Amino acid sequence: MSTIATSAQAQAGTVTDDPGAQAPLLSISHVERDFTSPNGQRVQALSDVSLDVRPGELVSIIGPSGCGKTTLLRLIAGLDKPQQGSVTFKGRPIEAPNPERGYVFQQGSLFPWLTVRENVAFGLKAQGKYREHAGEVDDYLAKVGLTGFEHAYPHQISGGMAQRVAIARALIDHPEVLLLDEPMGALDSFTRADLQDRLLDLWEQYHMTMVLVTHDVDEAIYLGNRVVIMSPRPGHIKEIVPIDLPERDRVSDAFLGYRKTLLTKLHFDVHEH
Residues that bind ligand ATP (CB under 6 A): 35, 37, 43, 45, 65-71, 106, 235
Q: Which of the ranges 63-71, 144-152, 183-191, 234-242 carries the binding residues for Mg ion, by CB under 5 A?
A: 63-71
- C-beta of 106 vs 191, nearer to Mg ion: 106
State which residue, 45 or 241, has the beta carbon closest to ligand ATP.
Answer: 45
Check binding of 27 to Mg ion (CB under 5 A): no
Choose from ligand ATP, Mg ion, none: what does 143 bind? Cβ within 5-8 Å by kind. Answer: none
Q: Least CB distance from residue 31 to ligand ATP, whole Å? A: 12
Choose between 48 and 138: whose C-beta lies nearer to ligand ATP.
48
φ, ψ dihedrals at 201, nearest 5°: -60, -45
Minimum separation from the CB atom of position 35 to ligand ATP (A): 3
Cβ at position 189, least distance to ligand ATP in Å: 19
- Please compute, for residue 160, the number of CA atoms within 13 A of its CA located in the half-sphere on the CB side: 16
Residues 68-87 that bind Mg ion (CB under 5 A): 69-70
Q: State the minimum distance, in angstroms, from the CB of residue 90 to Mg ion.
A: 26
* Crossing angle for the helix pair 130-143 and 116-126, to the nearest 10 degrees: 140
- Decide whether 55 or 235 has the Cβ nearer to ligand ATP: 235
Residue 71's binding partner out of Mg ion, ligand ATP, none, with CB under 5 to 8 Å set by partner kind: ligand ATP
Judged by CB, which is closer to ligand ATP: 35, or 206? 35
Measured in degrees and rounded to the nearest 5, phi and psi for residue 155 equal -70, -10
CB of 99 to ligand ATP, least distance (A): 23
Nearer to Mg ion among residue 106 and residue 261 (C-beta): 106
In angstroms, give the least distance from the CB of 101 to ligand ATP: 17
Catalog residues that contact Mg ion under the rule CB under 5 A: 69-70
